[in-house]
Amino acid sequence: MLSSPPETKEVTTTTGTAGSGYRTLVGVLVVLALTAGILVLTCVVIWYNGPAGPDSAWLQWFIDHRSPGLTTTAKAVSIAGDTTSVAIYSTLACVLLAWRRYWERAVLVAVTALGAGLLVFFGKLLVARDRPPVIDHLVTETNYSYPSGHALGSTVVVGILVAVALPVLRHRITRVLTVVVAVVFVVAVGLSRLYLGVHWPTDILAGWLIGLCWLSICLTARPAVAVEVRKRLAARRSTPDESTESR
């Protein structure tokens, strides 16, 4: 009877470690699959050096179905998912998390959001793809087209905010609705950019894939990084105590 508690603890620890290892493996496989898709898509885009495959036909479909009401909606959704907006979302989240002393989550949101911005910046410079003809634009854009910054940024920032919020939400229906609303928003942002005529469909697809890949990397690495951070903080806090005891 006296040996039961240690055995239970050992089984629990082993199960937790196995579960963590399984999640890490799944995360790595997801990242590898997304990376492969991104590389293939990017090579195709560079090879065509313009509209790739059905790009023109799909874009034309959105242009042909324009209406005053949809145009107003698309512009509003596009603004809600632009660089300034997602930067505001992530900044407010970091401030709130820091205020509640959720330091690890605040750092996670900040690093993930900043990484997304760098991926957009260097991705556009690397591929240097021109946007669709200006005559089809309903808003003004001056930088390169691939990948879509709106699609990538909204995917990463909304995704990481949902990942941070889900553990706090108590009811299952609330968690499900949160995920559904997030997915609808991210998809709507991407489609709004097609409707406005400022991106090729493959730009949007690349933004989603790259965003999901970076988000997966951050979430997969999160447990290991969190453990390391806690160890270092604990070591720093224990150093003054040890020196005091020696005196």
Can you tell me the mean pLDDT for 122-145?
93
Can you tell me the mean pLDDT for 188-200?
96
**Has residue 10 got a pLDDT over 70?**
no
Q: Is residue 169 part of a domain?
A: yes
Q: What's the rounded Cα separation, in Å, for the pair 29 and 39?
A: 15
**Residue 24: exposure state from Cβ atoms within 10 A (0-12, 13-18, ≥19):** middle
pLDDT value for 17: 56
Q: Is residue 14 part of a domain?
A: no
Query: With bands split at pLDDT 50, 70 and 90, how would you rate the model's confidence at 244?
Result: very low
pLDDT value for 8: 39
Q: Is residue 90 part of a domain?
A: yes
Q: Is residue 9 part of a domain?
A: no
Q: Is residue 235 part of a domain?
A: no
Query: With bands split at pLDDT 50, 70 and 90, how would you rate the model's confidence at 3?
Result: very low
- 237 three-state secondary structure: helix
pLDDT value for 71: 96
pLDDT digits (tens, 9 = 90+) for 216-225: 999 998 877 6
Task: Give 108-177 as a 3 state SS string.
Answer: HHHHHHHHHHHHHHHHHHHHCCCCCCHHHCCCCCCCCCCCCHHHHHHHHHHHHHHHHHHHHCCCHHHHHH
**Has residue 241 got a pLDDT over 80?**
no
pLDDT value for 42: 94
Specify the number of domains making up the chain. Answer: 1
The token pair at 183 is: 């997915």
**Has residue 245 got a pLDDT over 60?**
no
Query: With bands split at pLDDT 50, 70 and 90, how would you rate the model's confidence at 243?
Result: very low
Question: What percentage of the chain exceeds 70 in pLDDT?
Answer: 84
Question: What percentage of the chain exceeds 90 in pLDDT?
Answer: 68
Can you tell me the mean pLDDT for 184-196?
97
Residue pair 111/218 in contact by the 8 Å Cβ criterion: yes
At position 71, the amino acid (one-letter code) is T
- 247 three-state secondary structure: coil
Task: Indicate the Cα dihedral angle 33, 189, 54, 29, nearest 10°.
Answer: 0
Q: Is residue 247 part of a domain?
A: no
Domain around 33: 19-228
pLDDT digits (tens, 9 = 90+) for 97-111: 999 988 889 999 999
Q: Is residue 242 part of a domain?
A: no
Can you tell me the mean pLDDT for 130-156?
94
pLDDT value for 21: 75
pLDDT value for 163: 94
Q: What's the rounded Cα separation, in Å, for the pair 94 and 105?
A: 8
Higher pLDDT, 58 or 20: 58
Q: Is residue 6 part of a domain?
A: no
Cα 182 versus chain centre, distance: 11
